[in-house]
Amino acid sequence: MDETWPQPGEILKVGASASVQFAGNRGLRFRVIRIDAGLTAHTYAGWLWLEGYVLDRHGHARQRRLIFVRRAGLLRLAAVHR
């Protein structure tokens, strides 16, 4: 997996493979604002802290959150085109 992602603006599917707290109907679509490098530097290899917005079914931001997830368990739904 590419270590340069996720990037700000990308939309991810966050489910059980990213963290058990997002299993079943607790999964979400998440727009990344930033990776919290300070927190991520002091955690387990392959895990990171992401700050962003939970999106509703229309793609509108509904809740700002900081989440702790496994990078390998994330699914990119929309990439940022720069």
Q: How confident is the model at residue 63 (pLDDT cuts 50, 70, 90)?
A: very high
Q: Within a domain: residue 1?
A: no
pLDDT confidence of residue 1: 47
Contact between residue 50 and residue 31 where contact means Cβ atoms under 8 Å apart:
no
| Residue 39 host element (H or E) | helix 37-40
**Residue 23 φ/ψ, nearest 5 degrees:** -75, 155
Q: Is residue 56 part of a domain?
A: yes
Range of the domain at 47: 11-78
Structural domain includes residue 60: yes
Single pTM value for the model: 0.87
Residue-wise pLDDT for 4-33, tens only, equals: 779 999 999 999 999 999 999 999 999 999
Residue 3 has pLDDT above 90, yes or no: no
Total count of domains within the chain:
1
